[in-house]
Structure 1
Amino acid sequence: MNDHHISTKFTVFDNQSELSSIENELLNKAIQARDSAYAPYSSFNVGAAVILDNDQVFLGNNQENAAYPSGICAERVAIWSAMSAIPHGKIKQIFISARSEKTKVNRPVAPCGACRQAIAEYETRQKENIEIFFAGETGKIVKAYSIKDLLPWMFDNSMLS
């Protein structure tokens, strides 16, 4: 038996004013997307902004459905929109913002497991890290430097060879 240790790297910003001007602009785009989410069942709105290597920005927000498994998360909407428009583009960064109509979200909201797996697919494909910024409605913002920081034992295409 051998013990192993996994570590992750991330940065925590106290608030949005600590972000660079470009990062601040992208988080604001995620907030705008969040504010037009369709979330009548959970009342939990999420928005995402994806920026590609050509500096094009794609937005997404969660889209719920009365048949719960038929809804989709903001991150996947933004990623798949970007990859549909620019199939060989590379994702540089993803910005995520969440708020609830029921309670104040004052801590960072990380991507769900399905979204982490979708991000892992594209990070593996492009062979370059994707930085992930995630925030609540107020408070701290977390920056992960790679999906591996959020999903260290990720499943990828190497398992299928």
Structure 2
Amino acid sequence: MAEPATLYKLIILHMLEHIDFPLSNAQISDFFLDREYTDYFTIQQVIHDLMDSGLVRTENTHNSTRYIITPAGKETLHFFHNKISPSIEEDIAAYFQANKLAIKTENAYLSDYYKTPEQEYGVRCQLREKGRTRLDFTLTVQTKEQAEAICTNWQNQADDVFACLMDLLLK
């Protein structure tokens, strides 16, 4: 049996390998905490170690960090996959099955904002489906509050915005 920290790293790599989009820190942590495998601080250290060793990389927005397995991470997982027990693999599959819709939704509607050289805020919104970008646009607004509101509302209204645009543009 692998040392606990090594096993946790392999579990995270396995999770990232078996889903077709990045996972957030909260999604990874929830898996470990729901099953009481370990505590939050240990998982944060393990994630940090995976990043330091180049086995995962991050995709950051203003309100979340998502993790993606690297080719080195895939290679490492390939060599040590047998260290993950079938029961843990079943737990991972069950977690994805139970949380599939929530995980997909959280990863389908992406938004972020940044300050422009003109001292305004650029807000980038994306709608992704099955690893493909279906809609990607940037709006410029005057205030940080407006940028934050757009990012928040994008999560709830992306499908409606997409449908409205399609209706208007295909007339």
Establish whether TM, by shorter chain, passes 0.5: no
Higher helix proportion, which one? 2
TM-score, normalized by length of structure 2? 0.25
Greater relative contact order (CA < 8 Å, ≥ 6 in sequence): 1
TM-score, normalized by length of structure 1? 0.26
Between Structure 1 and Structure 2, whose CA radius of gyration is higher? 2
